[in-house]
Structures are given as C-alpha cells and as structure tokens.
Amino acid sequence: KGGFIEWTPMETYRQTMDVNFFGHVAMTKKFLPLLTSRRGSRIVNLCSSAGFLAPPGLSAYNASKFALEAFSDTLRREMHGWGLHVSIIEPGYMRTPIIDGLDHRYQELWSGVDEDTKARWGNEYFNSYLDVLKKDFFLLNAENPAKVVKALRHAVTNTCPRLRYRPGWQSSLVLFPLSMLPAWIADVIVAKKRGGTISPAGIMEQIE
C-alpha cells in the first residue's frame, strides 16, 4: 500500500510490517534450529530496491523493506559460524499485481484522509501526483518477474550463492548506484524524476 506519510493510517503501517517484516522474523525463528542442524542450509529473503532507496509515497512499504534488509544482514552475520547462507534479492519494479491499479489504490487511500489533511495538500495536488505516477518511467517499464525467479533459483541451487541479487536493469544499473550518491544529490534526482509542477495547497498559502 502506498501513500504519503500524512495520508497513511497507522493501521496500514502495522499491516505492512506484519506481512513484510514480522512474518519473515517469525518464520526464521521457527525454523532456525532445523536450518542450523546442518551446515550449508540457506535462507533467501525477497526484499526490494525500496530496501536501500526510499521513494516518496511508499513510506510503509519502504520501512518494511529496510527492516527486512537489516534483519537479513544481522542474521547472516550471526549465523556465519553455523554455515547458514543468507541471501537477499532486491528487484526494482516488476510486472506484478503490486503495480496494477496503483492509481485506484491511491484514490481509495485519499478518500479516507481526514478533511484537514486534504485541505492542506489539496485535491489539485493529489490529482497532479496521480498524473505523474501514471507517467513514471520505472512503472511504465516494469520488468519481467522471471528475472526474480532466476535469481531465486541461483540463490537456492548454486554452490556459491551471492549475498545480494539485484535482478534487472532498474535495480542494478539505476537505483542501487543512485542510493550510493550523497543524500542531497539523490534527493534532487528523485524529486526531478517525480516531476510535477503543482505544490500542495498549504505550501501555496505560505508563499502567498
């Protein structure tokens, strides 16, 4: 579920963390005794480029993926002596249901925002943001999820699994290099990528 921080209810954060983070933690803790009973066992966590580069409008999702990245790194380092391999897969945008009907889900989210918050942001800004989202280069060029399957297969079956996989050009050639830039430069690039010429209503009132 997407949405700016002010638009997103706390319940959405809890649900997203339950699915994308606490579920992984619970399953890992449940099976660790079995996995560590034999050296060479493997854990492969499907994360996201949103786990190392947080785009605006996806705060709950970003937070859950950053948490899973940190958990996976910690797990790998703690379990190194046990011979447990931990791999992380960090794809960019893939052609999956998560990006289908994205504008409709934003509309549903916006309809539940309280009137004071709506007034500060403004319907004009929201509609402009939706227009920008529909033209997003990465969403329009979402990649084949078979690339993720290929990475999963390698992580599970190869004799030398990698620590991290970034399947597809979005994650490996654009988003990860962008995340390595100084934060202020990355902020400027992300802001330009989002585009849009309309400011929130509250900002326009401050300027006037």
DSSP string over 30-61: HHHHHHTTSTT-EEEEE--GGGTS--TTBHHH
Q: What is the pLDDT along the chain (208 residues), one digit of tens a residue?
A: 678 999 999 999 999 999 999 999 999 999 999 999 999 999 999 999 999 999 999 999 999 999 999 999 999 999 999 999 999 999 999 998 878 778 888 999 999 999 999 999 999 999 999 998 888 999 999 999 999 999 999 999 999 999 999 999 999 999 999 999 999 999 999 988 776 678 899 998 888 7
Per the annotation, the verdict on 61 as an active-site residue is yes
Query: 154 burial class (0-12, 13-18, 19+ CB within 10 angstroms)?
Result: middle
- How far apart CA 83 and CA 75 sit, in angstroms, is 12
- How far apart CA 59 and CA 55 sit, in angstroms, is 8
Total-model pTM: 0.92
Of 61, 106, 129, 165, the active-site residue reads 61
Fold exhibited by the domain 5-207: Rossmann fold (3.40.50)
Q: Which two tokens stand for residue 173?
A: 């050639």
